[in-house]
Amino acid sequence: MTAVRVLVVDDVDLFRTGLSAALRAAGFDICGQAADAEGAVTAAEELLPDVVVLDILMPGLSGLEVVEKILAVSPGSRVILLTASESVEDLLEGIRAGARGYLVKDTAFEGLAAAIKDVVRGGAAVSARMGGKLFDILRQHLRHQDIAGSREPCLTGREVEILRHVAAGETSREIGRVLYISENTVKNHIRNILDKLGLHSRSEAVLYAVRESLIEL
């Protein structure tokens, strides 16, 4: 069986070389190493690795930004983010960018080796703590979907009018000037809209209103 070809990217020399040596000893083919984002993209384009093990915090572009660039030049590669960050935002950004794995750096080596094999087979890998956070986010999202789906559109005419202005990219202050109401009144209306629809942001509210034909963009 052909060894899995791995590109290791980390700006800390000792960590990068040590991890590469450990993976090589475990039977992986370390086809290259890189210490920064530019080197990672160049190496991915030249080597077309099966898997890229990539740190998030690096000089220049962050690992999150470089995921998309790597996949653009080597679409067959699977990217595993190996990082000290336990930020939910970083986890979600990594998934959006196309990463197939997100592991924190205290993951046991056996866990990383298993993750590399899993993503090559088409799977995904998330460390246990981050998996718990991802599960919580999914549960909250499903709850909000249930809430929104169980309610008939119940926005007042004024709220729909404010949504139209929000969709046009106007600030609360600008909307207040047009409608002859205070900025705080506009903000209260927007909070009420979000509460009624079980949503979290202006953009979500606008998308909901468009989907329900309450407004047109």
For the chain, the structural domain boundaries read 5-130, 141-211
Q: Looking at the domain that runs over 141-211, which CATH code has it been given?
A: 1.10.10.10
* Over residues 57-78, mean pLDDT: 88
Per-residue model confidence as pLDDT tens digits over 169-202? 889 999 999 999 999 999 999 988 888 887 888 8
d(CA 205, CA 163): 8
d(CA 181, CA 200): 23
Residues 6+ apart with CB under 8 A from 80: 51, 52, 53, 54, 99, 100, 101, 102, 103, 112, 115, 116, 119, 125
**Residue type for position 208:** Y
Per-residue model confidence as pLDDT tens digits over 103-115? 999 899 999 999 9
At 12 the pLDDT is 93
Beta-ladder partners of 81: 54, 102
Find out whether 115 and 82 touch, Cβ atoms under 8 Å.
no
Q: What does pTM read for this prediction?
A: 0.66
d(CA 66, CA 73): 11
At 145 the pLDDT is 58
Percent share of the chain, pLDDT over 70? 92
The CATH class, in words, for 5-130 is alpha beta
d(CA 13, CA 10): 7
Task: Provide the pLDDT confidence category of residue 47 given band limits of 50, 70 and 90.
Answer: very high
CA nearest to 100, candidates 125, 74, 136: 125
Residues 6+ apart with CB under 8 A from 125: 80, 100, 101, 102, 103, 114, 115, 118, 119
